[in-house]
Structure formats: structure tokens, C-alpha cells
Structure 1
Amino acid sequence: MSVQPIQTILVAGAGQMGSGIAQTAAMSGFAVLLHDTSMQAVDTGMETIRRSLERFVSKGKMTREQLNDTLGRITGLSELALGQPMELVIEAVPERLELKKAVFQTLDRLCPPHTILASNTSSLPITELASCTNRPERVIGMHFMNPVPVMPLVEIIRGLATSDEVCDMIKALAERFGKTPVEVNDAPGFVSNRILMPMINEAVYAVYEGVAEPKAVDQVMRLGMSHPMGPLALADLIGLDTCLAIMETLCQGFGDSKYRPCPLLRKYVAAGWLGRKTGRGFYVYE
């Protein structure tokens, strides 16, 4: 199996994670295609990238010329053409298995045979996503942390059929992005969310059961455990809908009641209180 050098990267999904991945790839010198189902969503993603780059300029971490060069390497798309040249796709659509499987089926049909398909999933099985394609050896997980341009970790998740060559290439790519790749095997929640999400869920239970208010829970973890951000503030940053989806994946994948999502988490998601992206979660945001 031959793997072509990566020059052009398609990011499928222009939301919070997709725009961050596109920005990181463009800052690293790659040509980037940023795709979503509507140009409005693409434009929103591009504006998110521009604002992020402006913060880099204001902090002296980037020049105005570098900002313009980075934006110039990103092309927005609302439609994909059959056989469009690209060596890598990074899927970053919402954390729903059936949606991701449908996206992978479409990508497999439209992308050239040599294209590597990567998923930014935070908990879903890479092997199952790969089974929807005719190229399971070229399917891999690239789980970026939020915010992508700042956080140094990328979990590299091997599916059952992922080739050594593809895995090595993706780890090298993550390093070119300025990240530290850590390889893990395909299991519910991988490593990061198998450990993180039960902690967040237990923090929600502490609020649900009246043990403490959200601010107090977060203060205990920040001041007592040296966490840079409390678990409930972090949940708001990640998105409570994403936290719930990951907990459900863990609960279903392991069949263990210790992963049962807290009813208060379900209630907040049902109310549309998803955290920072909606202006309200465990805290209220401007």
C-alpha cells in the first residue's frame, strides 16, 4: 500500500473543532479545504478562525502578514466534487455515530483511493467507522483537544485494520502541527475521555445531589487538585451535549452503571443549556 505525502487537507465540519483543526493545519503550511453543508456554516467557521488568529497577532505570537498567509491557505466549500485532489480528510462533525458513518460513506465514495480518512471523534469506534468504507487500512482517529490551536495533545487511535504506514504518517503530521501524538487502541472513550468524562459526570452528580454549587465544585478541583479549570467549567467549554454523548458511548460500550449519565446533565441538554456555545450551562456567559 502506497501512501502519498500530505499536501492538501480537507476538514469536514466547520464548527468549533473543525475550524480549530483547519486553522492549525493552515498555520503549519498546508493547503486546507474547509467543508460544511452550507456556506453560512463555512463562513461562520472562517470568522472563528480569523478571530482566533487576531488574538495570536495581539499577543505578538504572529504577524499580520502571517495571519493573511494563513487565511489564504484555507478555501471554504459547501459541496465536494468526485475525485477532488486531497491526501487527507479530517472529519469533525457532531459526535453521533450514524452521522459520522454516513459522512465516511460519502467521503469514501468521493475521495481518491489514496486519501486517508481520519476522524476527530472523542469516543466513537474507529473500527466501526472504517467498516463503512472500502479502505479500512486508511482510516484512523485523530482526537484533537479543545481549543485546537492551543492544546498540545492529539490522541492517535488505530482501528483494527489501520496500517502501520498510515499510523506513522499521521503521527508525523501531528508533530508538524506542533502537537504531541499519543497512540492508543480503539476502545470506548479511548484514554482521554474514559478518564475525563466520568470525573465531569461525578462533578455534575455533586451538584445534582446538593453537595455543592458549581463554583464550589470547580474551586475544590482547581485549588485542591491543581486542575487549570474546574470540571464543570470544562464541561461548558466542551459542550454539555458532547459530554452527554460521550457518557452514553461509555455506558453502552462497557455496559457498566458507573458510566450512567447524571440526570441533571440530561436535563440541561434537553433544555438547550449546552455551555459556552449557547450562552448557558453550569454558568451563564455573555
Structure 2
Amino acid sequence: MSAPRPTIACLGAGRMGRGIAVAFAYAGHAVTMIDVKARPAEQFSKLRDEALDEVRKTLASLARFGLLKEHETETVIARVSVVPSRDSAAALADAGIVFEGVPEMVDLKREVLAAASKCVGPDVVIASTTSTILVDDLSGAVEHPRRFLNVHWLNPAYLIPLVEMSPGAATDPAVIAQMKALLEGIGKVPVVCAATPGFIVPRIQALAMNEAARMVEEGVATPEDIDKAVRYGFGFRYAVLGLLEFIDWGGGDILYYASRYLEGALGSDRYRAPEVISRNMQEGRIGLRTGAGFLDYSGLDVDAYREQRLSVLVDMLRHFGLARPPVLDRD
């Protein structure tokens, strides 16, 4: 008999809370969204109806996409409830995991987290979903901060597989493992990163988005062609090969010399390669060619590895409708 699924409490009934509610309810969890703001009954009723209507519409979209049957949406939405702030203590008493999803204001988050942490047992995991605030700027407000960490979802939370986990200085490693297992249990792909501004994805995408905007500004290409290049080149490739894996695939030395050229040609140190690139070169960690780079390829059947990655790229071609049969000469 499988273990019971913990009830999920979301502090806040906004966009993030609703996305998390869909993700967990779809995976069989009961979810309670808690309105953290005291408001008149009619205003709360309007918020509750808006939240549940958005959840319903999201599930209807997933049904149209074939991820569930239309009649199953009622079963899933029945797992979601929204309660007013006056009922927060009772709702939290039943929670197995708590996610905070209020607006990005440190004082507000600390206030909400402090209050919630007093209403749950000392071993109930509490997670912020902040996209900008460092976890230890919030952890001091939480009773028993060993059970607190940041869990950064990418919107739309119910679709994007990746979730970035950022533990604080006091976070118990067992809590990280527990959250990782919970997320994997609902089909997510969690990664762990240090408490640093931008985490992983926002930090990389900020550079990429600014560079795309800069190319428009400089007249390098039209917005349409830049986006086409990203979809069918950049995004296409990195959906299969991770960035560091791709460095190893071609060789860190190629990136080193390309970076030197771009830094000089464009007159900007934003293209300068970090020290780890030259250090890897000095140590012979070039990538696939030497059996090690950022990743370790010792004992790997390199030909089989390349074949597998290329086969996934071919699948991507088929997905985009770009795989074509060969043109054969006719007699």
C-alpha cells in the first residue's frame, strides 16, 4: 500500500499558488490555497471564485491537450480549496508541506512565513517560491529554519518540468531530499543550487534575453529572425544537450578561442571566458576528446552516447515537422 500523499498548503491564491495547486492536484494531492490577506467576505468570495475558475480553465486546457479526460477535471478540481485568512490556522494544521507564494516583498514574506511556521509542526517543510530574494533573507522569520528552503518554480508551474531548489545555511539535508522526492513524485525535475541571485535559469536567461534585445538595438537582425534563430538553433540544440555538456561536446578550447575573438571584435568583456575554461584546458579537461571536461566521460561508449543524442535531435526535427525524406535521383 502506497504512503498517503501529503496535503499541500499554498500561502497566497495568486498566479503561483494556482499553478502549484494544479500541479499537485493533478498528481493526486489535496491542495489548500490560503488567502493571507484579511478582507471582507464578498471580496474573499470573488478571489476564491477567480482562483478556482482559473484552475478549472487550466485543467480544461490540459484536457484539450490530451493530458486528462474531460470528465476527470472535476475529480482533480475537487482536490483544490481556497480558504480565508481567518481559517489559516486550521488549514495549516492539516498541511504536510507549505509553499509560500505571496508578492516579492521581503517584509510581507517574512510576516507570512513567521505566522505560518507557528501553525504547523516543527517537522513540516516550509518553502518559499521567491524568484528574487535569497533564502537566508527569509529563513530567520521561520521557526525551526532547518525545515525551510526556497523552491523556485518556472511559469507555468503546472507545465514546466524544472524546479530550482535553493537551501539556506540552516536547511537540513534530509529536507532537501524530502522535497526532491516530493517534486519527482509529481513529475517534476528538481535541481539544487546555492543561494545566489538569479538561481540557475533566470541568471542564464537574463543574459540571453538582454543579448537578444541588444542585437535588435544594433540592427543585427529583425526580432522575428532572432526568435527564429533561438527556436530552431539555440533552443533546439539545448533542449537535448545541456550548455556545459555542449561545451564538452565541441571542446572547451573552441569556446575559449571563440570568446577571445568575440571579446575583441565586439569590444566587450561580457564575452570573456571565465577562468574555469582556461583552467580545464591546462588540466587537459577539454571534453569528449579527452574523456573529461565539465562532465566525466571515463568508461563511456562515446560513439553510443553521440548516437543517442543525435537520435533525440532527429526526434526534435520530427516534432517541428522539419524531418524530410532524401531526394533520390530517378532514372
The TM-score normalised by the length of structure 1 is 0.71
Structure 2 partner of 1:47: 53
1:34–1:182 distance in 2 versus 1, CA, 3 Å: same
Letter paired with 2:58 = S
Letter paired with 2:89 = L
Mapped partners of 1:76, 1:27: distance in 2: 16
Mapped partners of 2:66, 2:103: distance in 1: 33
From 76, 79, 84, give the equivalent of 1:78: 84
- 3-state SS, counterpart of residue 32 of structure 2: strand
After superposition, give the CA deviation of every residue in 1:105-124 in whole Å (9 maximum; x if it has no partner). 22223333332210112232
1:105–1:202 distance in 2 versus 1, CA, 3 Å: farther
After superposition, give the CA deviation of every residue in 1:136-185 in whole Å (9 maximum; x if it has no partner). 10101111121122111111111111101111110000011111111112
Mapped partners of 1:100, 1:196: distance in 2: 25
Structure 2 partner of 1:123: 132
Letter paired with 2:98 = V
Report matched runs for 1:1-286 at 5 Å.
Answer: 7-36=6-35, 37=37, 38-79=44-85, 80-82=87-89, 84-207=93-216, 214-226=223-235
Number of residue equivalences: 228
CA contact (8 A) 2:106 2:137 kept: no
Worse overlay, 7-16 or 162-171 = 7-16
Mapped partners of 1:62, 1:137: distance in 2: 38
Which is greater in Rg? 2
Mapped partners of 1:43, 1:211: distance in 2: 47
Mapped partners of 2:208, 2:170: distance in 1: 32
How far is the alpha carbon of 1:8 from its aligned partner? 1.1
Mapped partners of 1:205, 1:95: distance in 2: 28
CA contact (8 A) 2:13 2:82 kept: no
Mapped partners of 1:152, 1:126: distance in 2: 22
How far is the alpha carbon of 1:213 from its aligned partner? 5.2
Determine which structure has greater relative contact order: mean sequence separation of CA pairs < 8 Å that are 6+ residues apart, divided by chain length: 1
Instruction: For structure 2, list consecutive stretches of 5 or more residues without a partner in the other structure.
Output: 38-43, 238-268, 271-331
How far is the alpha carbon of 1:217 from its aligned partner? 3.5
1:113–1:186 distance in 2 versus 1, CA, 3 Å: same
Worse overlay, 86-95 or 99-108 = 99-108
Mapped partners of 2:113, 2:130: distance in 1: 12
Mapped partners of 2:142, 2:220: distance in 1: 48
Cα-Cα RMSD = 2.7
Mapped partners of 2:9, 2:62: distance in 1: 23
The TM-score normalised by the length of structure 2 is 0.62
1:172–1:224 distance in 2 versus 1, CA, 3 Å: closer
Letter paired with 2:203 = R
1:224–1:28 distance in 2 versus 1, CA, 3 Å: closer
